[in-house]
Structure 1
Amino acid sequence: MFDPAGPFAGSIATLAWILMGVAAVVMLVVAAALWVALFGTGNLRSKLGGKRTIWLGGILFPMVVLTALLVYGLSLTRNLTAPIRGDEMRVRLVGEMWWWRVAYLDRRRQPFMMDANELHIPTGRPVVLELQSSDVVHSFWVPRLSGKLDMVPGRTNIMRIQADQPGTFGGQCAEYCGGPHALMGFVVIAHEPEAFAAWLRARQEPQEAAISPEAARGASLFMSTGCAACHRIAGTGANGLAGPDLSHIGSRRTLGAGILPNNRGALMGWIGNAQALKPGNRMPPYTILPGKDLQAIAAYLETKR
């Protein structure tokens, strides 16, 4: 939060520095009063315990300081609650146990592309996030891009984020939601506008690349071993909604909601026994699958870019 990469995080960082500075001044004042109470002369201690000091230092001083901070803080962070223009890019994020469902929305606020655990945005423009939860209270927080806001079942909260420079920004669930809450990470990737437009076009084009015999066998195993009951892959018969959308898993930076690098070994380990890597998550272990089958399924998923 002390290294903001956008205007919304910048106002929060400024407020944080102001609050810490005021807290340091207040601590010095209290420390000085404590020194007088312990080591000061009788006359100073008498004044310190007088009614005038109590009224000024105990009532008026806190009222003035807290009121000034409240007014300044609200004016400084008013960009976080500014009215939505209506032409901003909009994404719906749904907190799950313990991962993030991502839906890119069109002008009618209907999903046109699904993903999970990472978000791609263009630089230099605000992005409106619709925050929801399907189970318990979560909290979305990418410290370098904006503040944090709860995701409450049954309601939609609105948040803005913006990145002024390309990069990868880590996020985290900031509200304890049980189980492996600490392993519920998130990744935001900011692109230059031209690069983002190219990325979006590539994501929406049909995936028609030829796959290896091993990957083809992995596709058959994916459908026959029950994976398709929980996961969706666009353009296939896999339409499960219980788990993350895997249509573009091959291009993701991480696995398991930010806890593992996305490579062949980590993917095989996650498919084989996700409970050993993230205890309590809702992915069942597939220890009955031999290594060659795990290898084939991983090879197939790597083609989904």
Structure 2
Amino acid sequence: MTARALLPALPAAMLLGGCAQLPSLQSVLHPAGPDAALITGMLWMLCAGSLALFVGVMALLALSLRRGRPVDARWWIAGGGIALPVAVLSALLLYSTWRSAQLSPQGSQDALHISVTARMWWWEVRYRDPASGRDILLANELHIPVGRRVYLGLGSADVIHSFWVPALGGKMDTIPGRINGLTLQADRPGVYRGQCAEYCGQQHAKMAMHVVAESQQDFDAWLARQAAPAAPIAPVAPNAPVAPDAASASAGNALLERGRAAFFAQRCNACHAIRGVTSPSDDAGDATLGPDLTHVGSRLYLAAGVLPNHSGAMAGWIAGVQAVKPGARMPSFERLDGATLSALAAYLEHLK
């Protein structure tokens, strides 16, 4: 059976596994950081100002109708067109200027540094390993410690994008050839969804970013795991007893070995790096056309937030890239036979 024959059943399998994923918020009305709280306050004040303008103009209209005679146009111009807007808009300008000055300065001092590069249509994320100083690459997912300032160095590899996680702060454009800085801070643990906020092409709407806010201890443990090379396939001793568990482990390892061989046979390594597998060292690989896959099995989502990362989703994504995300810069591998597809997906899923 080929992967093409499995495609009709893949959407249902993807959806069924999504129930186990952590909930995420993408709402400016549910701030989880100090800057987001300030922006939400300004939003409500601007809404109140707009309402005041509307109510004022409607009051003038009602007043003119009650008198039963036309009102001099000069009063409408002076009252509804000049006096009321000037008063309300001036107050809003002073308020927004005052509150904007209270936003966190876009500086990197005393902050965790993370580099984010926008690409069509995914996000490359780069941390610095505090132990070795090497770069740690992943994609479409940020982990940050709760209560600590985070400075994002934002760039773009192709066109203008815009980074925006509404629950944590404002938005910032990513411009080719330039690095813009954005400061974020999460006040409570959670998973917060972000989105590219600048139209960047066919799959702009499917270019999400998830931010996982966790305790400092959990963040340090996660970063240490991400710094390690890819998990090796555990060997099975040739003289191991043929018990049910041993037989199962041997079959599982054989499946992973077949998936690893398929990764190279299909030239996945031309675009994707797996540290410790595609290069002899633990450094980030040179294959940067696609996301780094060293720990892809541990991510919450695939395809920049399109698919929850659960059993079955990996195979669905590999086989039906262009069906799930048309225009993505990766071909669909529906030509693979079912056994090879399952082995390749199993190998990638085991990279925790």
User: TM-score by structure 1 length?
Assistant: 0.91
What is the CA–CA distance in structure 2 between the aligned matches of 1:276 and 1:20, rounded to whole Å?
Answer: 41
The alpha carbon displacement at 1:85 in A equals: 5.2
Which of 92, 96, 104 matches 2:115?
92
Write the deviation string for residues 182-215 of structure 1: whole angstroms up to 9, x where unpaired: 1111100011111111211222234455442211
* 1:195 corresponding residue in structure 2: 218
Equivalent residues in 2 for 1:9-20, closer than 5 Å? 9-20=36-47
Q: Are 1:140 and 1:149, in contact at CA under 8 Å, matched by a contact in 2?
A: yes
* 1:288 corresponding residue in structure 2: 335
What is the CA–CA distance in structure 1 between the aligned matches of 2:134 and 2:109, rounded to whole Å?
Answer: 16
Q: Are 1:90 and 1:106, in contact at CA under 8 Å, matched by a contact in 2?
A: no
Equivalent residues in 2 for 1:44-63, closer than 5 Å? 45-46=71-72, 49-50=73-74, 54-63=77-86
Answering whether residue 169 of structure 2 is matched by residue 146 of structure 1, we say yes
* 2:319 corresponding residue in structure 1: 272
The alpha carbon displacement at 1:61 in A equals: 3.3
What is the CA–CA distance in structure 2 between the aligned matches of 1:283 and 1:175, rounded to whole Å?
Answer: 22
* Matched position secondary structure for 1:45: coil
* Matched position secondary structure for 1:80: coil
Write the deviation string for residues 58-79 of structure 1: whole angstroms up to 9, x where unpaired: 3343233223222221221324
* 2:181 corresponding residue in structure 1: 158
* 2:10 corresponding residue in structure 1: none
What is the CA–CA distance in structure 2 between the aligned matches of 1:30 and 1:75, rounded to whole Å?
Answer: 27
| Residue correspondences, number | 299
* 2:18 corresponding residue in structure 1: none
The alpha carbon displacement at 1:137 in A equals: 1.3
| AA of the residue aligned to 2:266 | T
What is the CA–CA distance in structure 1 between the aligned matches of 2:127 and 2:335, rounded to whole Å?
Answer: 36
* 1:133 corresponding residue in structure 2: 156
Higher relative contact order at CA 8 Å, sep ≥6: structure 1 or structure 2? 2
Structure 1 pair 36–121 and aligned structure 2 pair: CA distance change class (3 A): same
* 1:35 corresponding residue in structure 2: 62
Answering whether residue 229 of structure 2 is matched by residue 182 of structure 1, we say no
What is the CA–CA distance in structure 1 between the aligned matches of 2:271 and 2:103, rounded to whole Å?
Answer: 36
What is the CA–CA distance in structure 2 between the aligned matches of 1:234 and 1:163, rounded to whole Å?
Answer: 30
Equivalent residues in 2 for 1:86-125, closer than 5 Å? 86-105=109-128, 112-125=135-148
* Matched position secondary structure for 1:120: strand
Structure 1 pair 14–69 and aligned structure 2 pair: CA distance change class (3 A): same
CA RMSD of aligned residues (A): 2.0
Which of 61, 64, 76 matches 2:87?
64
Equivalent residues in 2 for 1:229-248, closer than 5 Å? 229-237=270-278, 239=285, 240-248=287-295
What is the CA–CA distance in structure 2 between the aligned matches of 1:249 and 1:133, rounded to whole Å?
Answer: 22
Q: Are 2:173 and 2:180, in contact at CA under 8 Å, matched by a contact in 1?
A: yes
Equivalent residues in 2 for 1:215-226, closer than 5 Å? 215-226=256-267
What is the CA–CA distance in structure 2 between the aligned matches of 1:295 and 1:156, rounded to whole Å?
Answer: 40
Answering whether residue 31 of structure 2 is matched by residue 4 of structure 1, we say yes
The alpha carbon displacement at 1:56 in A equals: 4.8
Consecutive aligned runs of 4 or more in structure 1 exceeding 6 Å deviation: none
Q: Are 2:118 and 2:155, in contact at CA under 8 Å, matched by a contact in 1?
A: yes
Q: Are 1:120 and 1:189, in contact at CA under 8 Å, matched by a contact in 2?
A: yes
Q: Are 1:103 and 1:111, in contact at CA under 8 Å, matched by a contact in 2?
A: no
* Matched position secondary structure for 2:213: strand
Unaligned runs of 5+ in 2: 1-27, 235-252, 280-284
User: TM-score by structure 2 length?
Assistant: 0.80
Structure 1 pair 297–83 and aligned structure 2 pair: CA distance change class (3 A): closer
